[in-house]
Amino acid sequence: MTRLILTADASAAGAIREVGLGDLVIAIERRLVWGPLPSDAECQALFSARPLGLHWLDDTPAWRLEKKSGLKGRGLIDLLSECDSAELWMGPEPNAQLLLLWLLDHCSIEEGAVSKLLIHHLDFAVGDVTPEQLAKLSPPATKLTQDHLELARRAWQAYRAPTPQAWFDLLEADLRLLPQLERCAVDLLSELPSVTTGLGATETRMLELIAPGNVQPFDVFPGHEKPNERRVFDYWEVGALLDELARCPVPAIAGLDEGPFTLDMHDDALRYARYKRSRLSLTDLGKAVLAGEHDFRRHNPIRRWWGGTLLTNKRLWRWDRERRMLIAPD
């Protein structure tokens, strides 16, 4: 084992593996843009050897772990020490960038591990390109310095803070060492409730796509070459957002005939078919919110994690996109 490649999703790992770019390619598919973040103890344990809870290799198929003798249950630092090089292939998607920050923060505790690491600063999602296309690309690799590690640590701690203020303050810093970080920072801030509509950027885009009426649910899900270009949330998270817009005290969306968007619904063929056949339209509130005339959060509750911040109606941090300003709760 000489060349280790770490990436953020299975499709990216599959493309890299098919091209033959690494001796060992591992996807770490931890979602950091949705739900509560792991605690400090969980963050440390995740990358350790033989943990009691979640492990960084959990997303690697068992047969692949067995194929590589001694890989199962290994700690990240130990594995890095045995590799000639370790490369981080992280795309511009916010979850991938957050995972990059977490990895750099963790690896900074061991100088020997840091010396093995290279970053490929990608401006494309690896999973969106074919192996043939990927083979023709040669994204530049950057050797890590202490400045990279300090910036990553600052950003990771800012995202984990109990308010978004420190994350917002990153916009005043020099982020050029991590070229996708500024875009990531703005993309995530844009998912805070808007100062006018009470909705984040992904929710707003969904309303825009539903506005013409007679729209099916999966027409508004983000994806490669789809009209919803937002790439912050994944399939299950977008399904939950659509539920929140349609299944609340005063809905913004009408016509969602099945739900909630859970694995149980997907496993029931009849319910899943009803969901896909739904024809969506905006309610009067949805039209008013989209026009900037009403605040969705004045009518409906919110209890959702944004990084280390728990957003509630009484503690609602907001984003002013026009002025690029963070607005603290009243």
Q: Which tens digit of pLDDT belongs to each residue from 222-238?
A: 887 788 889 999 999 99
Residue 299 near residue 252 (C-beta atoms within 8 A): no
Structure tokens at 127: 């999973």
Average pLDDT over residues 229-249: 96
Average pLDDT over residues 289-311: 97
150: left (phi over 0), alpha (psi -120 to 50) or beta: alpha
The pLDDT score that the predictor gives to residue 326 is: 98
Give every CB contact of residue 237 below 8 A, 6+ residues apart in sequence: 31, 33, 34
How would residue 82 be classed by pLDDT, with cut points 50, 70 and 90? confident
Per-residue pLDDT of 130-184, as tens digits, reads: 778 887 777 778 888 999 999 999 999 999 999 999 999 999 999 999 999 999 9
The pLDDT score that the predictor gives to residue 1 is: 57
The pLDDT score that the predictor gives to residue 65 is: 64
Task: Spell 187-218 as b/e; 16+ CB within 10 A means b.
Answer: bbbbbbbbbbbbbbbbbbbbbebbeeeebebe
More confident residue, 42 or 36: 36
Structure tokens at 181: 């970080």
Average pLDDT over residues 2-29: 87
How would residue 251 be classed by pLDDT, with cut points 50, 70 and 90? very high
Residue 53 has pLDDT above 80, yes or no: no
Q: What percentage of the chain's residues is helix, strand, coil (to nearest 5)?
A: 40, 15, 45
The enclosing H or E element of 240 equals helix 235-246
Domain ranges of the chain: 3-185, 201-301
The pLDDT score that the predictor gives to residue 77 is: 86
More confident residue, 148 or 61: 148
The pLDDT score that the predictor gives to residue 64 is: 66
CATH number at 3-185:
3.40.50
The pLDDT score that the predictor gives to residue 119 is: 92
Tokens 């905006």, residue?
282
The pLDDT score that the predictor gives to residue 50 is: 65
Average pLDDT over residues 261-285: 97
In single-letter form, the type of residue at position 284 comes to: D
Choice among 226-230, 258-262, 279-283, 304-308 with the minimum mean pLDDT:
226-230
Residue 69 has pLDDT above 60, yes or no: no
Residue 68 has pLDDT above 80, yes or no: no
**β 253-254/281-282 pair status:** antiparallel
Residue 116 has pLDDT above 70, yes or no: yes
